[in-house]
Amino acid sequence: MDWKAGLTRVAGGAATLVLDALMPPRCAACGEPVDRPRALCLACWSTLTFIGHPCCAICGDPFEVAPPGQPVCGDCLAAPPPWRRARSALRYDAASRALVLGFKHGDRLHLGGLLAGWMRLAGAELLADADVLVPVPLHRWRLLARRYNQAAVLAHALGEVAGVPVSDRALVRARPTPSQGQLTRSQRARNVQAAFRVEGRRQLEIAGRHVLLVDDVLTSGATAGACTRVLLRAGAASVDLLTLARVV
């Protein structure tokens, strides 16, 4: 993060602290009054579905009943994903969608710490092995339009609580990709192919490192898969994936 972004973050943090002192705390999702700042109300909290154990050792999909021995799901046995392991804090559904979209498109950056706390719990095993956190990048045009990359905000908040360095300049989106919302799985895969690269002068931030790729939502896996392949080609020792939410 450069000094300008850092300054904006510090200023934003200070403004949030001042606001916290002046305003009664409100639920981070729905805005109802709550008893402490940056928390969720009980109603919002109870609608979220946290993903816990037992889950597939590779993809992190929750099991109804854990199979005996190495718990790997049928999908991962049939076609292993490009990353080594993936974990997510929340099931992506109507409740978490409101939270994620508010974080992505609204000015809810102050949620970063709360959301990163959940990700830290879900990704404890992955964080223990990680040398560096790498957020899935936005193309600079979209970054300009949106002003911040939600994956980078999560990665920095996570890096702070977990004590792992963040590399947010090494992996870049080399060309803009249109919004993925309406596309089918195969269209998405084509769409993201060749969209990412590792900056040659920053390859040392990746080469030989155990990389933990960070994003807000895992849907088809096309974007994270493209990033993973690019990181491995740049010499990453391994790539794990941690997201706030995932489609199950």
Residues that bind Zn ion (CB under 5 A): 27, 29-30, 32, 41, 44, 56, 58-59, 61, 73, 76
Least distance between Zn ion and beta carbon 137 (Å)? 26
Cβ-Cβ contacts under 8 Å for 34 (sequence gap 6 or more): 25, 26, 27, 40, 41
Q: Which residues are registered as beta bridge partners of 43?
A: none
> Based on CB atoms, which residue is closest to Zn ion, 45 or 148?
45
Least distance between Zn ion and beta carbon 57 (Å)? 7
> Based on CB atoms, which residue is closest to Zn ion, 2 or 64?
64
> Based on CB atoms, which residue is closest to Zn ion, 100 or 171?
100
> Based on CB atoms, which residue is closest to Zn ion, 21 or 78?
78
> Based on CB atoms, which residue is closest to Zn ion, 9 or 117?
117
Least distance between Zn ion and beta carbon 42 (Å)? 8
Least distance between Zn ion and beta carbon 76 (Å)? 3
Task: Detail the DSSP E strand segments found in 102-229.
Answer: 132-135, 171-173, 196-198, 210-218
Least distance between Zn ion and beta carbon 192 (Å)? 21
Q: What are phi and psi of 50, to 5 degrees?
A: -80, 140
What angle separates helix 112-122 from helix 150-162, to the nearest 10 degrees?
60
> Based on CB atoms, which residue is closest to Zn ion, 18 or 57?
57
The total of other beta-carbon atoms located within 10 Å of residue 76's CB is 18
**Sheet of 132-135, strand order:** 86-91, 238-246, 210-218, 132-135
CB-based contact 91:100 (threshold 8 Å):
no
Least distance between Zn ion and beta carbon 74 (Å)? 8
SS3 at position 245 = strand
Distance CA 6, CA 232 (A): 29
